[in-house]
Amino acid sequence: MCGIAGFYAIDETTQTEPVVRKMVAAIASRGPDGSKVSPHGRITLGHRRLAVIDLTTGDQPIYSTDNTAVVANGEIYNYIELKQAEYADYPYLTQSDCEVILPVHARHGWDFASELRGMFAVCVFDPRSGLLTLARDQFGMKPLYYMETGQGFLFASEIKALLAAEVVSPEIDRDQVQSFMAHHFTLGRKTVFDGICRLLPGETLILRDGRIVDRQVRPTVPREAPRALSRDAALDQLDAVFRDSIAVHCRSDVPIGLFLSGGVDSSCLLSVLAQDYGERLTTFTVGFPDTAVSDERDLAARLSRSAGADHVEVPYSADDFWESLPRIARYFDDPLIDPAILPTWKLAEVAAQDLKVVLSGEGGDEIFAGYGRYRRPWLRRLKGILGRFSNRGDIPPTEHNDDRWAVACSPAYTELQRLQARDMVDWLPHGLLSKLDKCLMAHGLEGRTPFLDTRVADFGFRLPDHLKIQGQDGKWLLKTWLQNRMPAAQPFTHKRGFTVPVGEWIASRSSDLVDLMPQQPGIREYFHPDVVRSAFAKPSGKMGFLAWSFLFFALWHYSYGLARPSSNGTVFDILADAVRG
């Protein structure tokens, strides 16, 4: 796991190396184990390293015998199989999982990414042809942003690196602010900064002379209808593909941990990890003491102990909220209104003290149909009619700018598959995975998601609907499998879900916020003060979430709209400073 950056200039006289040095410095947290900037004529490549596999010879860029260079952020889980089979004759110089990208790219060209099983954002530069290739994994587990300018093409793992380059000064896009507030993240290729784009999940870009000359997008999920499977056959196949995924996701030269919520997805991971990694595994569970929300801390602790793992319970309090939120908002250059970023940030902060790698259960709900909205047929039909439109608030969504959107409308799909596919196009990469990547990489921690494996996704997405949902039970097959392996996980017991009490915390300080928030520069510029004041006057239920959204945006705008140099201090310190100007 790392961070990458690069600048491909149009003009040979453009100095790219000093720019890339600034970019690499801006993403230092992604790679505390090393940094390298490598000029190649009109292009300079940069890399930050978090050493997980091949701790001694895996520095990047890695070069082939013809001087083709690769820099990558992520892990290639099938690197051993590729090196032992189709690419066994290649003269490898390292033990890095990322070196295998070079012979795969040499054989398959722009389509090389379809051969890779892993999470990645990759850059390959061939000096003979002058072609630069960028590719991102099909689920969008690893981010990659880019900017086309009059001087050339810049790319990086985080937006803040592009801003640090100071080649141009992108403005905040008002339309994308509306999309952000409506959907809780921005959609598709566009970001909240005008002129800064994200490489789409599954997308490959080809550049020559600092300009894009071609692009291709691979679908996230298969376009076929469900397979016909019996219950017993499906359980056997699930056991095989899931155990295989966990095995390759545990390839590491450093110890691993597990974020354990007590829910179905993380308990499924634990049930397999317990057999092979129990005594070497550490589990982490977050809870909210002294609040009204429910959590699964007790169940998680019991399951961890039964697996023979070391268990760490991480409390998250109101003090954590008021003190850490400014730092979190500043790190989220690509903003995301999801309260789950708060406990995920704290979990990562604690886990990173002893570990470099943790496993997490993201993707289980999307692939095996766990969300409540999947279980209501009338809502599935309504969502199928409404398609992309959101009913989160009264702000109209902007045009969906994602080439993969058509895949969610395959005529072969059932209504359930169609809704799952849409979540995997939007919510999964721009919400869940963005949260996981940024919260963990802020602390130099790698997050791996075994549910988001090509084989698991192909199997789970194409299950018959009745093996995903039965009555009020979503993820029916996954729960049945877990019930057989680990009955103590209580997979069929009704759970209230994971809730972060942001409304409760904001309500405790609403008298301090109700007049302060409408004065915030970012709030005054984009929102009506009466709406903001109403949200903080009675911050409960939906109004509590709206108040949280305004608060996060105001803090984010402090760093990226006002361009203040730091976010030291509590929420109230930052809000007061913003008003003072």
Q: What is the pLDDT of residue 492?
A: 94
Q: What is the pLDDT of residue 498?
A: 73
**Single-letter amino acid code for the residue at 445:** L
**DSSP string over 74-124:** EEETTHHHHHHTTTTTS---S--TTTTHHHHHHHHGGGGGGG--EEEEEEE
Give the helix/strand (H/E) hosting 2.
Answer: strand 2-9
Torsion of CA 98, 104, 110, 116, to 10 degrees: -60
Phi, psi of 375 (to 5 degrees): -90, 0
Centre a 10 Å sphere on the Cβ of residue 326 and count the other Cβ atoms it contains: 23
Pairwise CA distance, residues 478 & 182, whole Å:
32
Q: Name the residue ranges covered by the structural domains of the chain.
A: 2-217, 231-373+427-489, 502-580
Q: What is the pLDDT of residue 32?
A: 87
DSSP state of 197: E
Strand order of the β-sheet with 256-259 is 310-315, 282-287, 256-259, 357-359, 446-448
Pairwise CA distance, residues 50 & 17, whole Å:
22
Give the helix/strand (H/E) hosting 22.
Answer: helix 17-26
Q: What is the pLDDT of residue 388?
A: 43
With DSSP H G I counted as helix, E B as strand and the rest as coil, what are the percentages for the chain, rounded to 5? Answer: 45, 15, 40
Query: 86-122: string of b/e by CB count within 10 Å (b at 16+)?
Result: ebeebebebebbbbbbbbbbbeeebebbbbbbbbbbb
Going from the C-alpha of 485 to that of each of 394, 461, 480, the distances in angstroms are 45, 22, 9
Six-digit token string for 140: 């969008």
Q: Helices (DSSP H) in 288-376: which residue ranges?
A: 297-306, 318-331, 341-351, 364-368
Going from the C-alpha of 48 to that of each of 29, 37, 95, the distances in angstroms are 8, 9, 18
Phi, psi of 206 (to 5 degrees): -115, 130
Strands (E), 452-495: none
Give the helix/strand (H/E) hosting 223.
Answer: none
Peptide bond into 61 cis (omega under 30): yes
Q: Are the CB atoms for 301 and 287 separated by under 8 Å?
A: no
Q: What is the pLDDT of residue 395?
A: 31
Single out the residue of 241, 282, 200, 285 nearest to residue 452, CA to CA. Answer: 241
Q: What is the pLDDT of residue 145?
A: 98
**Single-letter amino acid code for the residue at 153:** F
Spacing of C-alpha 517 from chain mean position: 29
Single out the residue of 45, 60, 335, 19 nearest to residue 162, CA to CA. Answer: 19
Pairwise CA distance, residues 110 & 139, whole Å:
18
Question: Which residues share a beta bridge with 198?
Answer: 145
Query: 471-509: string of b/e by CB count within 10 Å (b at 16+)?
Result: eebbbbbbbbbbeebbeebbbeeeeeebbbbbbbbbbeb
The CA-based diameter of the chain, rounded to the nearest angstrom, is: 69
Q: What is the pLDDT of residue 350?
A: 98
Q: Are the CB atoms for 59 and 34 separated by under 8 Å?
A: yes
Reported as a single tens digit per residue, the pLDDT across 363-410 is 999 999 999 999 876 455 555 544 443 333 333 333 444 544 554 568
Pairwise CA distance, residues 344 & 348, whole Å:
6
How many CA atoms are closer than 13 Å to the CA of 396, on its beta-carbon side?
3
Q: Are the CB atoms for 574 and 557 separated by under 8 Å?
A: no
Q: Helices (DSSP H) in 166-257: which residue ranges?
A: 174-183, 231-249
**Single-letter amino acid code for the residue at 5:** A
Reported as a single tens digit per residue, the pLDDT across 225-241 is 899 999 999 999 999 99
Single out the residue of 303, 448, 431, 410 nearest to residue 366, CA to CA. Answer: 431
Which residues of the chain carry a pLDDT beneath 50? 378, 385-401, 403-404, 407
User: CA angle, corner 66, sides to 63 and 70, nearest 5?
Assistant: 30
Q: What is the pLDDT of residue 89?
A: 95
332, with CB counted inside 10 A (0-12, 13-18, 19+), is: buried
Pairwise CA distance, residues 134 & 207, whole Å:
8
Q: Helices (DSSP H) in 250-317: which residue ranges?
A: 264-277, 297-306
Classify domain 2-217 by CATH number: 3.60.20.10
Classify domain 231-373+427-489 by CATH number: 3.40.50.620
